[in-house]
Structure 1
Amino acid sequence: MTTELSAATFKLADQAALSPAQQKLETQLMTFIKTHLNTPKTGLFVIHGDAGTGKSAVLAAAFAKLQAASRSTTANPLQQTNNYLVVNHNEMLKIYKRVAGITPELRKKDFQKPTPLINRLAKTDQMADVVFIDEAHLLLTQPDRYNRFDHQNQLQELINHSRVVVLVFDARQVLKLKSYWQTDALAPFLQQYPHQLFNLDEQFRVTGNASVIDWINHFTQGQLTAKPHDAHFDFQIFADGQPLYDRIRQRDATAQLSRVIATADFPYVVNRGTWYVTAGGLKLPWDKVNLTDDPWALRPETLNEVGSIYTIQGFDLNYAGVILGPSVGYDAKTDRVIVHPDRYEDQEAFKNRDDLGQLAPLKAQVIFNSINVLMKRGRYGLYLYAVDPALRQRLLAL
């Protein structure tokens, strides 16, 4: 693995670098695949874990091992199996394809978006042997004409066309209602199939101590606690967006992989000119549509842009400057963080669904999920600025 790829994005590690928990997961996963490859019903292996717990890293390592066995000239139970890794995230797909270009046992065609793979397998009436799904919480749970998906549930369709499915799922990273699973819906779904669950709970991305993670977790549940202090993690709250950006530029010059990212609270229309994020004295353009093969975080010019959940989810930064936009506010009476879905500009996230009941609490959860994703990007530091004056003053008072 090159230094560029191992240091950037999600941490792609070789076997020696996997933690004991990750090695245990990889061993159990490979055993499960061999056991269920030729059984009558599709086997499901589900990996749970919060942002930054190394889910993508171990998934990538296990998939490389699977493909090495599949393409080996030495007879083994996995030889000549037809396998894919699926991710419904353009920027992460680019990273996986870059990895394929430098890893002998991998091919770029091994990595797919879900809809094209589903449609191709259905059209040719084929079965994949093993399908890995990274960020399964991004799969669609309703039809989507824009994405040319005409069925009801992408996970169900992938199961229908696979002998074994391995999926990474984190309910706290669901960012759209059209990907939403009711809290109690996943368990009975899994009960239809032979399945195994594995939970990763060790934080690998954010190097701050437990108090840093606890602070973020409390914030994304609306609770404010004392600002944590960790000599090895730079956590700062800013009174203006410009000094936050200046700090990110300094960090990028010395440590690289430092970017400003924001909640989806500022207007943006695809391919309709340049749209800006404003944060006090700071005004920077939103990330542009990226038509290159390089992920957003690896392109030097994006230091002068603001990244979104759609360009940064699943990736490591060294330092993250997070702008909390107008949808994130503060209730002084309850001393709680509150959110305003009517001020959230990503209306694609809130396309109505008539099967989910009351949507107001689900919309609020989507916003808190997006904050969780953003705040857990930085490995060595987190810088915050809140557009809402009341929230900004309360954070500064911490």
Structure 2
Amino acid sequence: MFTTPSNAATAKLSPLLPLTPAQAQLVDRIFTFTTTHLNQPGPAMFAIYGDAGTGKSVVLAHLFNRIQEAARTQATSPLAGTENYFLVNHPEILKVYREIAGHQPHLFKKDIQRPTSLINQISQGKRQADVLVIDEAHLLLSQPDHYNNFYGHNQLASLMATAKVIIVVFDETQVLRLKSYWTEQRLEALMAPVPHEVYRLTHQFRMQASDDLVRWINDFTHQRLRPLPSSGGTNYDLRVFADAEKMRQAIVARNQEVGLSRIVSTSGYPSTLDRGKHYITEGAFHLPWDQYNYTATPWAELPQTINEVGSIYTCQGFDLNYVGIILGPPIGLDEHEHLVIHLDRYTDVEAFKRRDDLTDPQELTAIKQRLILNSINVLMKRGVKGLYIYAHDPRLNHYLQQGRHLA
């Protein structure tokens, strides 16, 4: 019986892990950029673009550890005595980075902050910021959000007004809510007036899948349909299930063998933020959605969550060994074999909260569809060793099975 180590997520982001030569060169380049611009009129910005699984967070972990080591131990460094922060707007990922900080001599848990907390502390004169490293910058709020105690208009703009150097990683295909609606074009418009550099990561590190399967996922989530590859690759387990319960049983078996295997789902099933249990039912399959995780351990590493269904809010940014994804009622196939998105069947009310600057109905519809497709992309790319798929829509499930042996 495999026991998931308590530090499985942190081990994959540890600054002690070796980097590839290309990653090491990128860390050197950003570090030089940081020290060059630190004492010049700011802010200066460095943006790293890359799809899910391309190693963005690993690069940031190494970079921030190096920045803080220089700030706290190297008296002759331009960074000596600077006040620097690592920011992330995802509560589950925040736990991972704080756990990492607790084991590194030059990192403190207080170095890891949520953007709103730091913005509010700076505005109150309690902190200042020299260098900011921002993971998952596509999750930064781009409108006021009273629920999160953010009363500005854009979190990145607020941070640019206070810091000297800002490093962000950004993936517009992982934008999941209207209140954090971003595109590369919007980011570049903010960077344009200040000194900046960009770098794009392309190599897939997370998934042991073939390049063809990764391309298929990217095509599928841009509504460019083609038959699912017959194989996910030599070292990757790709299956389509006609029965969600059988998929659950297979994921349980994988979890017993290698750990970190979970069922996840898109929206489209009962879900309300009332701390009650809401269930996904597909035939004999009947499991509750993930619950809010009050522990310091990431959701996927809690043993009991094998009996829950993960969402984008617990799984984004995390590696699973095997992922079983349920494509819910909003995702279907029409009679012409075109992928269609049924917005009226989407049940995540938080995702589509109104924003006053998006008023064109056609544009808003397109953006909402893009957010749903992004959620599929995020969930499909969680699995390191395997991807199992079940589609609620019978026509879509049949299409996915074409040319394959049904699991």
* Conserved? CA contact 2:42–2:163, under 8 Å: no
Moved more, 180-189 or 159-168: 180-189
Q: What is the rounded CA distance, in whole Å, between the counterparts of 2:331 and 2:22 in structure 1?
A: 36
Moved more, 294-303 or 262-271: 262-271
SS of 1:348's partner is coil
* Conserved? CA contact 1:8–1:257, under 8 Å: no
* Conserved? CA contact 1:10–1:315, under 8 Å: no
Counterpart of 2:285? 282
String of CA shifts for 1:35-94, please: whole Å, max 9, x gaps: 011111201010100000010111011111111111115432211110000100000000
Query: In the superposition, relative to structure 1, how do residues 371 and 116 fare at CA in structure 2: closer, same or farther (>3 Å)?
Result: same
Counterpart of 1:340? 342
Q: CA deviation at 1:264?
A: 1.7
Moved more, 46-55 or 99-108: 99-108
* Conserved? CA contact 1:279–1:323, under 8 Å: no
Is residue 63 of structure 2 the alignment partner of residue 62 of structure 1? yes
String of CA shifts for 1:258-314, please: whole Å, max 9, x gaps: 011110221212234211112332110100111111110111111110000000000
* Conserved? CA contact 1:10–1:316, under 8 Å: no
Q: What is the rounded CA distance, in whole Å, between the counterparts of 1:27 and 1:133 in structure 2?
A: 17
Is residue 382 of structure 2 the alignment partner of residue 381 of structure 1? no
Q: Which ranges in structure 1 are unaligned for 5 or more consecutive residues? A: none
String of CA shifts for 1:129-168, please: whole Å, max 9, x gaps: 1011110100111101111111100000111111111111
Q: CA deviation at 1:186?
A: 2.4
* Conserved? CA contact 2:38–2:78, under 8 Å: no
* Conserved? CA contact 1:270–1:289, under 8 Å: no
Moved more, 344-353 or 294-303: 344-353
Counterpart of 1:269? 272
RMSD: 1.7
Q: What is the rounded CA distance, in whole Å, between the counterparts of 1:200 and 1:182 in structure 2?
A: 17
Counterpart of 1:121? 122
* Conserved? CA contact 2:88–2:114, under 8 Å: yes
Q: CA deviation at 1:222?
A: 1.4
Is residue 307 of structure 2 the alignment partner of residue 308 of structure 1? no
Is residue 253 of structure 2 the alignment partner of residue 250 of structure 1? yes
Structure 1 length as normaliser, TM-score?
A: 0.96
Counterpart of 2:400? 395
SS of 2:399's partner is helix
Q: CA deviation at 1:212?
A: 1.1
SS of 1:17's partner is coil
Q: How does 1:360-379 map to 2 (within 5 A)?
A: 360-379=365-384
Q: What is the rounded CA distance, in whole Å, between the counterparts of 2:120 and 2:130 in structure 1?
A: 16
Counterpart of 2:329? 326
* Conserved? CA contact 1:37–1:163, under 8 Å: yes
Q: CA deviation at 1:116?
A: 1.0
* Conserved? CA contact 2:34–2:165, under 8 Å: yes
Counterpart of 1:354? 356
Q: Amino acid of the residue matched to residue 344 of structure 1? A: Y
Counterpart of 2:41? 40
Q: What is the rounded CA distance, in whole Å, between the counterparts of 1:226 and 1:387 in structure 2?
A: 18
* Conserved? CA contact 2:227–2:400, under 8 Å: no
* Conserved? CA contact 2:323–2:383, under 8 Å: yes
Counterpart of 1:175? 176
Is residue 177 of structure 2 the alignment partner of residue 194 of structure 1? no
Q: What is the rounded CA distance, in whole Å, between the counterparts of 2:11 and 2:227 in structure 1?
A: 29
Query: In the superposition, relative to structure 1, how do residues 385 and 157 fare at CA in structure 2: closer, same or farther (>3 Å)?
Result: same
Structure 2 length as normaliser, TM-score?
A: 0.93
* Conserved? CA contact 2:119–2:158, under 8 Å: yes
Moved more, 104-113 or 18-27: 18-27
Q: Amino acid of the residue matched to residue 364 of structure 1? A: Q
SS of 2:216's partner is helix
Counterpart of 2:295? 292
Q: Amino acid of the residue matched to residue 346 of structure 2? A: Y
Q: Amino acid of the residue matched to residue 350 of structure 2? A: E
Q: CA deviation at 1:182?
A: 4.8
Aligned residues: 395
* Conserved? CA contact 2:10–2:97, under 8 Å: no
* Conserved? CA contact 1:285–1:306, under 8 Å: yes
* Conserved? CA contact 1:6–1:13, under 8 Å: no
Q: What is the rounded CA distance, in whole Å, between the counterparts of 1:8 and 1:397 in structure 2?
A: 35
Q: Amino acid of the residue matched to residue 29 of structure 1? A: I
Q: Which ranges in structure 2 are unaligned for 5 or more consecutive residues? A: none
Q: How does 1:71-150 map to 2 (within 5 A)?
A: 71-72=72-73, 74-124=75-125, 126-150=127-151
Q: CA deviation at 1:27?
A: 0.7
String of CA shifts for 1:372-397, please: whole Å, max 9, x gaps: 00000000100000011111111122
Moved more, 139-148 or 216-225: 216-225
Query: In the superposition, relative to structure 1, how do residues 257 and 146 fare at CA in structure 2: closer, same or farther (>3 Å)?
Result: same
Q: What is the rounded CA distance, in whole Å, between the counterparts of 1:10 and 1:346 in structure 2?
A: 32
Q: CA deviation at 1:7?
A: 4.2
Q: Amino acid of the residue matched to residue 383 of structure 1? A: Y
Query: In the superposition, relative to structure 1, how do residues 339 and 9 fare at CA in structure 2: closer, same or farther (>3 Å)?
Result: farther
Identity across the alignment (%): 48
Q: CA deviation at 1:206?
A: 0.8
